[in-house]
Amino acid sequence: MRVQGLIAATFSTFNEDGSLNLSLVPRLVDNLVSQGIKGVFICGTNGEGPNLTTEERMATVDAYVKAVNKRCLVMVHVGHASIAEARRLAAHAQQAGADAISAVSAFYFKPGSARIMVDCMAEIAAAAPLLPFYYYHIPAITGVAVNPLEFLQLGESRIPNLAGIKYTAATLHEYQACLNYKDGKFDILFGYDELLLPALSVGAKGAIGSTYTFATPLYLRIMELFNNGDIVAARELQYQAVKMIQCLGWHSPIPAQKAIMKLLGTDLGPCRLPLQALDSTQVEEINSYLGEIGFVKVLENVTTA
């Protein structure tokens, strides 16, 4: 499996009382498909997968597979603190018609080495043997920083359906090493939106990111400019993305991004504790900043370019 283009790591869709609101999924999918997205990554960090029950995660997968209807890829995050639950989620994703699965490390009792990580991921991947499996490397969240290249070296013989890594880390030298392992044997999807252009410069072809859910045209234009050799223009647009991303850290990044989506016309509902929706003052602070940097105008310009 090879992904060329952008995968949107989509956000949770909740009612005000915190229950799932899957009726919002079709509109979100339609918008992303119309903008040229290559796929959706669901129930991951941005989808608050760890905040959902196993049954809610399965219901979310069913809703996305139905809404997508083969128009783009459906990649399902099945990681869980319990390997048994992760296996249930993996098996369900295969049965539901997903295109690929991915899993983070267990994040309470943590694997202590790349070998143990491979043991864990082999168990999960084996529950969905027909689907490509991507190890989800996100050490800033899981606290597990095994060497991703060592994971590939050990995992290629242990995980028959190993397709690659969802690489959400800023260590571009290790990312490049993974990309070039055995002449590019594995699909290494980059996961830091603010570093998309540097990742392209070392060989990235596909990427998964949260802000692709509401700024797909901006990043597609960056990729187009890079591929056409217009590095100066690509660099200028990447900085526009960086300026937008800078405000996400003022509060909690996921609620901040859901607030931006609402400002842009797509209300996906609140978050679940321990995440909490921004208050009106915080939302206005972000709205004013986006106005100052001309973010909406940038989006309009790249959309019509």
The answer to whether the annotation marks 260 as part of a ligand binding site is: no
Integer Cα distance of 268 and 202 in angstroms: 35
Any idea what DSSP says for residue 160? Answer: T
Q: Report helix angle 114-126 to 83-96, nearest 10.
A: 40
- 111 prior amide bond cis, ω within 30: no
Number of residues that make up the chain: 305
Which residues on neighbouring strands pair with residue 37, listed in sequence order? none
User: Is 219 tagged catalytic?
Assistant: no
Integer Cα distance of 143 and 64 in angstroms: 29
User: Is 243 tagged catalytic?
Assistant: no
Integer Cα distance of 26 and 41 in angstroms: 15
Catalytic-role residue among 166, 167, 205, 219: 166
Q: Report helix angle 54-68 to 25-34, nearest 10.
A: 50
- Look at residues 197, 198, 142, 192 and name the one whose alpha carbon lies nearest to residue 167: 192
Integer Cα distance of 297 and 257 in angstroms: 18
Catalytic-role residue among 64, 134, 135, 136: 136
Alpha carbon separation from 220 to 150, 166, 170, 258 (Å, rounded) = 31, 19, 20, 21
Here the tokens at position 101 are 């699965």
Residues with a known catalytic role: 136, 166
Q: Which residues line the annotated binding site?
A: 208
